[in-house]
A = this chain, B = another copy of it.
């Protein structure tokens, strides 16, 4: 558990894709590159646009591109744009209002853990996401060949 939604997944994939691609890409183009349902990918991109992480261009040659440098966008930004604020517990969303857990005994320690997670997510940028992958993929391919004897 502690899984992030598929939409957030798709969002990160798209952001990494756009970080590497110089121009703009359409929703369809990105979706087909990664076998993601086109409409769903479109929806994710729309939300990212509304949150200001992307800029969109309508019309025949339209598409999306990053609104700012990939080095200035963190994984936390993307996830929170899609899934809302990161909240480990149900009550941490309302911060204090949580009748049931008036006597809750783990709220504050958990809140501290949440801070750790957020800081981990904030430390990784979309740029790193994209570049990391390039480097790693080369290694992975080599390993796959070594282990399974195929690409």
> Which chain A residues have a beta carbon within 8 Å of chain B's beta carbons?
1-6, 8-9, 12-13, 16-17, 33-36, 75, 79, 83-84, 86-90, 100-110, 112-113, 116-117, 120-121, 124, 128-130, 132-133, 136-137, 140
In contact, A1 and B87 (Cβ under 8 angstroms): yes
What's the least CB distance linking A136 to chain B, in Å?
4
Residues of B within 8 A of A90 (CB): 3, 6, 9
In contact, A106 and B3 (Cβ under 8 angstroms): no
Copies in the complex: 2
Q: Tell me the bound Cα distance from A133 to B86 in angstroms.
A: 22
In contact, A87 and B132 (Cβ under 8 angstroms): no
Residues of B within 8 A of A121 (CB): 113
In contact, A2 and B105 (Cβ under 8 angstroms): no
Residues of B within 8 A of A79 (CB): 1-2
Q: Tell me the bound Cα distance from A124 to B35 in angstroms.
A: 39
Q: Tell me the bound Cα distance from A130 to B133 in angstroms.
A: 40
Residue of B nearest to A19 (CB): B105
